[in-house]
Amino acid sequence: MLKLRTGLGVLLALLVTGCTSTPEASPDRDAEAKQFLTHPGTAAIYVYRPDVDRFEDHVDLYIDERLVGETLPRTYFRVDVAPGRHVLQGSGLDLGKIELDARPGTLVFVEQDVAAGQSHFRMVPEETGRKRLLACCTRLERWAPGQRPFLK
């Protein structure tokens, strides 16, 4: 009986760690990102998911084939990138994708809508992106390498 309980405990622990969600940023980090500061040598990409009317599940977000984390309704990521072309996409069966050109010292806003497990990305003007992000969303932290057991 003890072996059965131990085995069930290990199985439960594996299941829980396999469902790790993207951590929410601290209120200070969220407030800092909402100041929309720029850096002269990089561009900042804000990917946000307002999902006001529906609450689809989480979907993975990749930038240039690097896992950022899971997007969730009413959340956002800020990712500082080198200037140049970048590709944002979902994973697995999610065929959503957008290519963008990021210039140094700029902010790029991308709204993500998820319907039936598919991401639909669209760039929005900076002023629109700022307003929508402030009205809806909480910052998520990027996953650290190796934090998620199953990668693309």
The one-letter amino acid code at 33 reads A
Q: Where are the alpha helices (DSSP H) in 51-95?
A: none
Q: Distance (Å, rounded) from C-alpha 138 to C-alpha 130?
A: 13
Q: Is 134 helix (H, G, I), strand (E, B) or coil?
A: helix
> pLDDT (tens digit, 9 = 90+) per residue, 67-87?
999 888 899 999 999 999 999
Q: Distance (Å, rounded) from C-alpha 3 to C-alpha 34?
A: 51
pLDDT at 144: 65
Q: Mind listing the domains of the chain with CATH numbers?
A: 23-139 (2.60.40)
> pLDDT (tens digit, 9 = 90+) per residue, 21-69?
677 888 999 999 999 999 999 999 999 998 766 656 778 899 999 999 9
**Token digits of residue 53:** 């009317």
